Amino acid sequence: MSLHGKRKEIYKYEAPWTVYAMNWSVRPDKRFRLALGSFVEEYNNKVQLVGLEEESSEFVCRNTFDHPYPTTKIMWIPDTKGVYPDLLATSGDYLRIWRVSDTETRLECLLNNNKNSDFCAPLTSFDWNEVDPNLLGTSSIDTTCTIWGLETGQVLGRVNLVSGHVKTQLIAHDKEVYDIAFSRAGGGRDMFASVGADGSVRMFDLRHLEHSTIIYEDPQHHPLLRLCWNKQDPNYLATMAMDGMEVVILDVRVPCTPVARLNNHRACVNGIAWAPHSSCHICTAADDHQALIWDIQQMPRAIEDPILAYTAEGEINNVQWASTQPDWIAICYNNCLEILRNFPTLLRKNNLLIALDLRYKRLWSKKGQQPIGVP
């Protein structure tokens, strides 16, 4: 899809409900497709698949389907070559795998590891392994992480149902586990980290599950809600605490001591997204309506200010940096999804602002300047 004729810097979509979970599709033929999950405080919730129309330069809803409870996370299969079926996963009460076609989205399998059918511990998050898309990991309030093996039935000429089985389940934390993420270290298949209500970041290796490594503990033992691995350098990860206004950057080679603290937000942080193509850029988003892009290449020197800021019209619930299109960042607030063209020139030219195309100045601002916004 080519949008060069329009040169818009921002595209907006308004859903019929509050948007919480969202994710970019990575399929090469679906570049401007995102999945959105509703946040409605009742059993009946929705997922929408939206795409950007090249001709009209407007987002359109391609499909809407029902989902029990709000999705705690939503993620397309990390299949950049389009060799697997077009699958979407959601977490909530269970992990669900959906198959997407041009005409419908149907549930392929529901993965539940709880032997007691009268009770299921809600899933707080999950991650889909980029190196081996047959692996998924879930985190739960019952203190466990579960690694699932997926059979995707990618036989040509047949329609195979997707199925899954438990590869391993482990007690990961002393309290609820709030997030899980696979690391690209060691081949990218076997290592993952988790965070939870006990305030710790723990690292695991599927080949040696008899022990884990605590690489950070919050000094006040505040629950840690999210973690996110650097896409280019697997030594670095970012995490944030419940109701916290800062993002902590960790180096796994120097456990327990943050190498940077990003603390320019003025309300609690809700989202973290590393640049897919740069090891030293990260975007954070918060209840202060701000999405901030930081350059952390000066670590371990203190990172005082973000290099760029965008002000939304509401409290930002989530931020996602498009892995196959690094010029674009998606945010959601209230019932709105926005995709923002960021500073590709800036990120590739060592932050020389003089090299920027002037059109971007309407969208983002430097620290201390008021963004003008897009008319």
Nearest to 347 by CA among 285, 281, 291: 281
- Supply the CATH number for residue 230's domain: 2.130.10.10
Tell me how far apart the alpha carbons of residues 324 and 23 are, in angstroms, rounded to a whole number. Answer: 12
Asked if residue 147 is part of any domain, the answer here is yes
Domain contains 95: yes
Question: Which of 284, 321, 277, 333 minimizes the C-alpha distance to 305?
Answer: 284
Asked if residue 349 belongs to a domain, the reply is no
Query: In this structure, are residues 114 and 121 in contact, taking their beta carbons and an 8 Å threshold?
Result: yes
In the chain, the amino acid numbered 136 is L
Predicted confidence at residue 131, as pLDDT, reads: 93
Residue where the block lists tokens 């937000």: 265
Q: Per the structure block, which two tokens stand in for 105?
A: 């989205």
The pLDDT tens digits along the chain (375 residues) read 344 445 578 999 999 999 999 999 999 888 899 999 999 999 999 999 999 987 888 999 999 999 999 999 999 999 998 889 999 999 999 999 999 998 889 999 999 876 665 667 899 999 999 999 999 999 999 999 999 998 876 544 445 577 777 888 888 899 999 999 999 988 888 999 999 999 999 999 999 888 889 999 999 999 999 999 999 999 999 999 999 999 999 999 998 899 999 999 999 999 999 999 999 999 999 999 999 999 999 888 889 899 889 999 999 999 999 999 899 999 999 999 999 987 544 444 444 443 344 444 456 665 544 443 332
Does residue 325 form part of some domain? yes
Domain interval for residue 303: 10-341
Q: Domain total for the chain?
A: 1
**196 falls within a domain:** yes
* Residue 372, CA distances (Å) to 26, 190, 359, 362 in order: 31, 46, 11, 5
Say if residue 219 is preceded by a cis peptide, omega within 30 of 0.
Answer: no
The pairing of strands 33-38 and 44-52 is: antiparallel
